[in-house]
Amino acid sequence: MNIAEILSVSVNEDNLAWKEGATMPVEYVAALSAASEIGSDLLRVRALDKQAYRRVVLLLANKAEKQGMKKRLFLSPAMAQILAVCAIHEITQPQCLVCRGAKVMVTEKLKVVCHSCGGIGLHRYSDKDRARMCGVSAESWPQWERRYHMVMQILVSNDTAARLSRIKLGKHLYSSVDIG
């Protein structure tokens, strides 16, 4: 479903009640109305909009380069884009890699709590994961780490959908993002 379809369903949707695991139409409407440029593109990326994806990568990379200049954390345009791609991946795909967010594994008659995430349904991205995503060796990661967190911080502060869901659910949806 693309963002236009989601929105047309959203404004016609009678049942705005919470359904587990689904982003409710009302959230798209609410989030888009209050979102920044990066924030609204992030919503579209979650709805698999390729144009929005390219746009948000460039916007985020650009912002990161500028902020890096101020903080003396210099980023080449290429580095900024790699970090943007990886941070967007992390924030838009928080699900556990084993259960895909289901929290439990259902076999024939058995329902078992996912061993990988312990029933949380989220993947906790490690430095190793992040280095691998960025195509950097584990040894060189420390040189990238502060820059990655800077990019993630820009992204999180623009992520209206996450903020709204957090308020609504009282949960830390992106608890894997530890920004020091």
Residue 98 binds Zn ion, judged by CB under 5 A:
yes
Which CB sits closer to Zn ion, 64 or 99? 99
Residue 116 binds Zn ion, judged by CB under 5 A:
yes
Window 117-136: residues binding Zn ion (CB under 5 A): 117
Residue 104 parent element (H or E)? strand 104-106
Residue 61 binds Zn ion, judged by CB under 5 A:
no
Say whether 111 sits in a helix, a strand or coil. Answer: strand
Residue 33 and residue 10: Cα distance in Å, rounded? Answer: 13
Residue 95 binds Zn ion, judged by CB under 5 A:
no
Window 1-30: residues binding Zn ion (CB under 5 A): none
Residue 171 and residue 177: Cα distance in Å, rounded? Answer: 13
Helices marked H in the chain — which ranges?
A: 3-12, 25-34, 37-46, 50-71, 77-92, 127-134, 141-158, 160-169
Which CB sits closer to Zn ion, 29 or 105? 105
Could you say which DSSP state residue 95 is in?
B
Which CB sits closer to Zn ion, 50 or 100? 100
The single residue among 56, 85, 99, 161 that binds Zn ion, judged by CB under 5 A, is 99
The single residue among 114, 134, 150, 162 that binds Zn ion, judged by CB under 5 A, is 114
Length of the chain measured in residues? 180
Which CB sits closer to Zn ion, 98 or 169? 98
Residue 78 φ then ψ, to 5°: -65, -45
Residue 38 φ then ψ, to 5°: -65, -40
How far, in Å, are 136, 139, 140 from residue 128 at the CA level? 9, 10, 11
Which CB sits closer to Zn ion, 82 or 114? 114
Residue 52 binds Zn ion, judged by CB under 5 A:
no
CB of 118 to Zn ion, least distance (A): 8
Which CB sits closer to Zn ion, 66 or 115? 115
> Which residues sit at the interface with Zn ion, rule CB under 5 A?
96, 98-99, 114, 116-117
